[in-house]
Every structure is written in C-alpha cells, then in structure tokens.
C-alpha cells in the first residue's frame, strides 16, 4: 500500500527530530541519512539538497520556481477554506512536496475592527510583500491564488451589520 500525504509512516529504521535544526543535525550526524526541512533553512544554512522526480516524471530542483509551480497548479478554488496539501500537484515544473502557510481567522469575528486591520495588512502583504518574502527565501503565492483569496475575503468576512470587512 502506498502511503498518502496524511499517513503517518512507521519506518523500519531511522530517527525522528523536531524542527529544521533537529532534522538537519540528525542528517549531518548520520551517515547516509536524508531529511526534509524548510527551503529557507536550506538556503540560509547552505545545505545540500536533492533533485526529485515529480508527478509529471520530470526531475526538478527545490527552488522558488518549482514551489510556485506546485501552488499555481493546485485546485484552490475547490478546496475548503484554501486548505490544500501541495503533494504531487500536476505540472512539468511542480515540486512534489510543498506547503503553504495559513492564517486562521473567524468569518464572523468578535472584534471586527481588529479583523479589518488584519485583512488590510494581509492585502498590503500580497500587494507589496513579494520582494520581502523572496529576500527571506519564501515564495510568494501566484497572482491567481491571491485574487481568489481576496475575492473570498470580500464575501466571507463580515461585520455585525453583515457588511464585508475587507476593502478590495
């Protein structure tokens, strides 16, 4: 049976570790070991990485382009609240194991003023933060995904009067 992205695998050998640093240290100190850590951690610490074969059968490198290709080909529109596990996404350049960072918010907030301020910040981040994200070795979401997120904000985050909180 082939494990899925939500399957916890009991490996016959090996060590587990907590966080990027723990995994990297175990890999460094264990002959023949492999591990999976965050892209920014790899870049900042100049770690060795492997290329892998993706769903399309192509060999891809872990880099901003292959992560963005995975995000661009995911079916965000049909996901529940933009929750998508980015494993084995279609696409010639897609990296097969990627992840998006999420912000969790109540659709009907107890403090609409604070929620509106947070949505304005996220909107600014989407509009002005790509360069900053890249400088920190993070990958901006594709424009089409950002447009879907903003459309959802306009319809799903409402104040006490039922009016949308996020200005487009």
Q: Which two tokens stand for residue 111?
A: 């403090």
CATH architecture of the domain covering 103-168: 3-Layer(aba) Sandwich (3.40)
**In sequence order, what DSSP letters do the residues of 82-104 get, joined into one string?**
T---EES--STT--SEE------
Q: Where are the domains of the chain?
A: 103-168
pLDDT, tens only, 69-96? 999 999 988 888 888 889 999 999 999 9
- pTM attached to this predicted model: 0.78
Q: What is the pLDDT of residue 52?
A: 95
CB–CB of 91/69 below 8 Å?
Answer: yes
């Amino acid at each position: 049976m082939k494990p899925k992205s939500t399957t916890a695998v009991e490996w016959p050998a090996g060590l587990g570790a907590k966080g990027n640093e723990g995994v990297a240290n175990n890999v460094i100190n264990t002959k023949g070991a492999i591990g999976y850590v965050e892209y920014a951690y790899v870049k900042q610490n100049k770690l060795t990485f492997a290329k892998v074969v993706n769903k399309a059968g192509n060999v891809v490198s872990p880099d901003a382009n292959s992560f963005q290709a995975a995000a661009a080909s995911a079916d965000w529109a049909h996901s529940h609240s933009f929750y998508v596990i980015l494993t084995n996404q279609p696409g010639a350049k897609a990296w097969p194991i990627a992840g998006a960072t999420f912000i969790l918010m109540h659709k009907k907030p107890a403090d609409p003023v604070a929620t509106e301020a947070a949505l304005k910040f996220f909107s600014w981040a989407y509009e002005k933060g790509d360069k900053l994200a890249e400088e920190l070795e993070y990958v901006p979401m594709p424009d089409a995904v950002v447009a879907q997120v903003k459309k959802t904000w306009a319809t799903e985050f409402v104040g006490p009067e039922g009016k949308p909180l996020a200005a487009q």
